[in-house]
Amino acid sequence: MNRQPIVDHIPALRRYARALTGDTWAADDLVQDTLERACSKWRLWTVGSNLRAWLFTVMHNLFANQMRSATRQASSSTVDIEEVAHELAAPDAPPDQAMDLQRCLLRLPPDQRAVLLLVSVEDMSYADVAKITGVPIGTVMSRLSRGRSRLQALLDAPAQAATQPSATGTPVSHLHRLK
């Protein structure tokens, strides 16, 4: 009967979507889609169960679908740290830590990004994250581990490269493998 809980979850959904997409508008679109989806799927939610986890599940599925269709369109594969390290070497503006962190986050495979954010930022239990992302808990742990290591490597990369200015000469076109 109480409608308040749903509204209460919006700020956290917005924050998660913001970090997931790295884009203010895309994030709010994702939240809007999530709420609309939740509206049409209410009967799938069990009364008394964890509303927050359920809303994040709805959002996760929407995001995963978006990622799948984006991947299909771009036909690009995931990018290795080694390949992108040079791109991070020479920021045009003085490096803004938050922007840098967001940029590096977006370089993580979406699966790892989602797990990393759900655990680190949303304080979800590993078990809840497993349910939300629909994978076994072992997979959650390996995604978390790989996500953390990869993010750290990406964050550390500019500092290393800054000491080697010649690295910036590498063409950016290496970023995308064409198939």
- For 10, the token pair is 């919006």
Q: How far is the CB of 70 from another protein (least distance, A)?
A: 21
Closest CA to 161 of 112, 95, 106, 102: 95
Minimum CB separation of residue 169 from another protein in Å reads 30
For another protein, the binding residues (CB under 8 A) are: 1, 3, 6-7, 10-12, 14-15, 18-19, 28, 31-32, 35-36, 38-40, 42-43, 45, 47, 97-98, 101-102, 105, 116-117, 119-121, 123, 125-127, 137, 141, 144-145, 148, 151-152, 155
User: Least distance from C-beta 85 to another protein, angstroms?
Assistant: 18
Nearer to another protein, 36 or 77 (CB): 36
Which CB atom, from 88 or from 151, has the smaller least distance to another protein? Answer: 151
Specify the residue, 93 or 172, whose C-beta has the smaller distance to another protein.
93
Q: Looking at beta carbons only, is 145 or 164 nearer to another protein? A: 145
